[in-house]
């Protein structure tokens, strides 16, 4: 089907935390391969694999040293080929993660730039600038990096003296590429073709909105002024780059798909990125950020449907990913039972909306955020860069529990030590324990995904709100599906029809608080 990406369910694999086949504590490609049947049985259409390229791992692999290979920690290029083939044989598509905003500081281009003088070709591929002040010790601008601290770092010249500064919107080990440079454009064209030729079905594009920088804001910050908009995102040139990639994606047989990570939580802004000649999709982070309140959720869903619909794009829903607090914890805080109940309802809400849904590994197991990792275990650069004020994103990256009641819970061989410690009791979430239990989160996801795939009610992209009173979200899909999510303070009566699925047992035929149901209208 040529437009599979308009209604797919995509499962995000964070390889280092998925399955560790060799016992080094870090998940790997062989591990992913071993669980492909699990993913097929779960009922997803595609997997998105976060970066597996050679990397010093300063930011979990989002610091890429070689875009055309696989880090030995995860396996080999041959393993990647085998995985892509195996996934396809099971009917699963494969998306990779393209990281075009920055390279690793260990990338040969950056190593060459450091060894080359100011004004050289090698430095033109990045953003090197002289500092201000009499001795060049003032950073070119005072923008902050996303991870905390300044977004400029000063280098030391061959003579051992401090030299120019370079821009890094994330960690210093992630120098930003200069997308005005023809080498950069040509390199990424080739990287796309390299992976497309290996059968990859598309890319999730890391910080897709930030590639192009406002040169004036960097070179003459005093003219741009402190109140000017953030000069590193939404620059007009970025759309040109996406167009260029779309042409490459469309020229493949079959055409490939591009989904952008675009932060800002405003779908009308994301929609600017979605054109028949731009990106196919962009995550709707407003949905993820919404409070668990009917009016708020209704607003973000309406906004997204309007904005994406107006440009003919499919909305792209997501509740969790490797950068965000897991939604069980977002919705319930320390109250695991409450968070779980809401997460079950949220899953039925998301999976009934028209468009694409992204699942993050472990959400189908109902994993909460691990909020008490010991300081010494933290690996996210955010922890150091923020001067130990932000703990960072490790709590959603804890290795998955698959089997048994003893760490590492089937994540790796017995007695191997996962790269982040799993909490005691993690075995309660293990997949093998949940699989036979019809009331488990895993069973809910399996049933929901099977219905979404096979029930005629999910056909098409129609959507209409139905009023069922305050605190109740309710909508209908034309093909014959009625969805009710009860965020009010009391159980609600359901419309007449067959209950296809409910996230909690009904209470005398009524839908309890913090529960959702899918109904085939009678
Ligand atoms: C994206 C990734 C995140 C990474 C950052 C820098 O936001 O999702 O994990 O740290 O980009 O590459």
Write the pLDDT tens digit of every residue in 264-287: 768 888 888 998 899 999 998 999
CB burial of residue 464 (10 Å; 0-12, 13-18, 19+): exposed
pLDDT at residue 158 in the model: 78
What span, in angstroms and rounded, lies between the C-alpha atoms of 37 and 41?
A: 6
Please tell me if the CB atom of residue 301 comes closer than 6 angstroms to any atom of ligand 1.
no
CA 499 / ligand 1 centre spacing (Å): 40
Q: Is the pLDDT of residue 475 over 50?
A: yes
**261 classed as catalytic:** yes
Lowest mean pLDDT among 77-91, 223-237, 366-380, 390-404: 223-237
Q: Is the pLDDT of residue 225 over 90?
A: no
Please tell me if the CB atom of residue 283 comes closer than 6 angstroms to any atom of ligand 1.
no
pLDDT at residue 266 in the model: 80
Cβ 516 vs Cβ 482: under 8 Å: no
For residue 108, give both structure tokens.
């040969």
Q: Is the pLDDT of residue 329 over 70?
A: yes
CB burial of residue 197 (10 Å; 0-12, 13-18, 19+): exposed
* Ligand 1 atom with the shortest distance to the CA of 101: 12
Most informative mutation of 49, 62, 168, 392 for ligand 1 (most atoms within 8 A of CB): 62
- Report residue 16: phi and psi, to 5°: -65, -15
> Among candidates 336, 299, 338, which has minimal Cα distance to 514?
338
Cβ 204 vs Cβ 48: under 8 Å: yes
Most informative mutation of 15, 60, 170 for ligand 1 (most atoms within 8 A of CB): 170
pLDDT at residue 268 in the model: 82
Please tell me if the CB atom of residue 59 comes closer than 6 angstroms to any atom of ligand 1.
yes
Q: Is the pLDDT of residue 368 over 70?
A: yes
Compute how many other C-beta atoms are within 10 angstroms of the C-beta atom of residue 260: 25
Q: Which residues are 127's β-sheet partners?
A: none
* Ligand 1 atom with the shortest distance to the CA of 323: 9
From the list 201, 206, 364, 380, the catalytic residue is 206
Most informative mutation of 13, 50, 59 for ligand 1 (most atoms within 8 A of CB): 59
Average pLDDT value for residue range 410-436: 97
CB burial of residue 180 (10 Å; 0-12, 13-18, 19+): middle
Q: What does DSSP assign to residue 399?
A: P
> Among candidates 309, 366, 303, 306, which has minimal Cα distance to 336?
366
CA 159 / ligand 1 centre spacing (Å): 34
Please tell me if the CB atom of residue 208 comes closer than 6 angstroms to any atom of ligand 1.
no
Please tell me if the CB atom of residue 323 comes closer than 6 angstroms to any atom of ligand 1.
yes
pTM: 0.98
Q: Is the pLDDT of residue 305 over 50?
A: yes
CA distances to 188, 191, 211, 416 from 184, rounded to whole Å, are: 6, 11, 11, 41
Average pLDDT value for residue range 183-210: 98
**Tens digit of pLDDT for each residue in 136-181?**
999 999 999 999 999 999 999 878 999 999 999 999 999 999 999 9
pLDDT at residue 1 in the model: 44
What span, in angstroms and rounded, lies between the C-alpha atoms of 164 and 141?
A: 13
From the list 63, 214, 261, 284, the catalytic residue is 261
* Ligand 1 atom with the shortest distance to the CA of 99: 12
For residue 490, give both structure tokens.
């009391």
Q: Is the pLDDT of residue 341 over 60?
A: yes
CA distances to 7, 307, 480 from 459, rounded to whole Å, are: 9, 21, 9
Compute how many other C-beta atoms are within 10 angstroms of the C-beta atom of residue 379: 19
pLDDT band at 2 (very low <50, low <70, confident <90, very high): low
CA 91 / ligand 1 centre spacing (Å): 28
pLDDT at residue 270 in the model: 83
Please tell me if the CB atom of residue 97 comes closer than 6 angstroms to any atom of ligand 1.
no
**Residue located nearest, by CA, to atom 4 of ligand 1:** 62
CA 203 / ligand 1 centre spacing (Å): 14
Compute the mean pLDDT over every residue in the chain, rounded to the nearest whole number. 96
Average pLDDT value for residue range 66-85: 98
């Amino acid at each position: 089907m040529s437009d599979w990406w308009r209604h797919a369910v995509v499962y995000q694999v964070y390889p280092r935390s998925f399955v560790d086949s060799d016992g080094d504590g870090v998940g790997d490609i062989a591990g992913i391969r071993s669980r492909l049947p699990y993913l097929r049985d779960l009922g997803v259409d595609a997997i998105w694999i976060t970066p597996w390229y050679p990397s010093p791992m300063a930011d979990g692999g989002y610091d890429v040293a070689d875009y055309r290979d696989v880090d030995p920690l995860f396996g080999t290029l041959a393993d990647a080929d085998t995985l892509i083939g195996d996934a396809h044989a099971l009917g699963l598509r494969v998306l990779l993660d393209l990281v075009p905003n920055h390279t690793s500081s260990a990338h040969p281009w950056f190593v060459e730039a450091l060894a080359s003088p100011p004004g050289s070709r090698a430095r033109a591929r990045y953003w090197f600038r002289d500092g201000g002040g009499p001795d060049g010790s003032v950073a070119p601008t005072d923008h902050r990096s996303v991870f905390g601290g300044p977004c400029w770092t000063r280098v030391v010249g061959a003579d051992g003296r401090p030299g120019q500064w370079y821009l890094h919107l994330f960690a210093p080990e992630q120098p930003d590429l200069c997308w005005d440079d023809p080498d950069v454009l040509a390199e990424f064209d080739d990287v796309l073709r390299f992976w497309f030729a290996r059968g990859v079905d598309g890319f999730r594009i890391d910080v897709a909105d930030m590639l192009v920088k406002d040169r004036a804001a960097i070179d003459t910050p005093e003219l741009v002024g402190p109140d000017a908009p953030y000069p590193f995102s939404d620059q007009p040139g970025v759309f040109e780059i996406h167009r260029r990639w779309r042409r490459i994606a469309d020229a493949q047989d079959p055409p490939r798909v591009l989904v952008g990570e675009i932060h800002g939580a405003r779908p009308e802004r994301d929609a600017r990125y979605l054109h028949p000649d731009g990106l196919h999709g962009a995550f709707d982070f407003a949905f993820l950020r919404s409070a668990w309140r009917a009016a708020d959720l209704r607003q973000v869903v309406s906004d997204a449907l309007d904005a994406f619909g107006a440009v003919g794009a499919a909305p792209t829903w997501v509740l969790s990913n490797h950068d965000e607090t897991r939604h069980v914890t977002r919705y319930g805080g320390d109250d695991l039972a409450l968070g779980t109940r809401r997460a079950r309802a949220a899953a039925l809400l998301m999976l009934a909306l028209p468009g694409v849904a992204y699942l993050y590994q472990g959400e189908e197991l109902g994993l909460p955020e691990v909020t008490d990792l010991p300081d010494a275990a933290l690996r996210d650069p955010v922890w150091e860069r923020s001067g130990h004020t932000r703990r960072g994103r490790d709590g959603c990256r804890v290795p998955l529990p698959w089997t048994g009641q003893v760490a590492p819970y089937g994540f790796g061989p017995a007695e191997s030590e996962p790269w982040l410690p799993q909490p005691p009791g993690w075995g309660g979430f293990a997949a093998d324990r949940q699989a036979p239990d019809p009331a488990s989160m895993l069973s809910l996801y399996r049933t929901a995904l099977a219905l979404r795939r096979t029930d005629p009610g999910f056909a098409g992209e129609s959507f209409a709100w139905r009023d069922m009173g305050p605190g109740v979200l309710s909508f209908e899909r034309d093909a014959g599906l009625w969805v009710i999510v009860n965020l009010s303070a009391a159980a609600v009566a359901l419309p007449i029809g067959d209950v296809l699925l409910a996230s909690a047992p009904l209470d005398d035929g009524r839908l309890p608080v913090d529960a959702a149901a899918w109904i085939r209208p009678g």
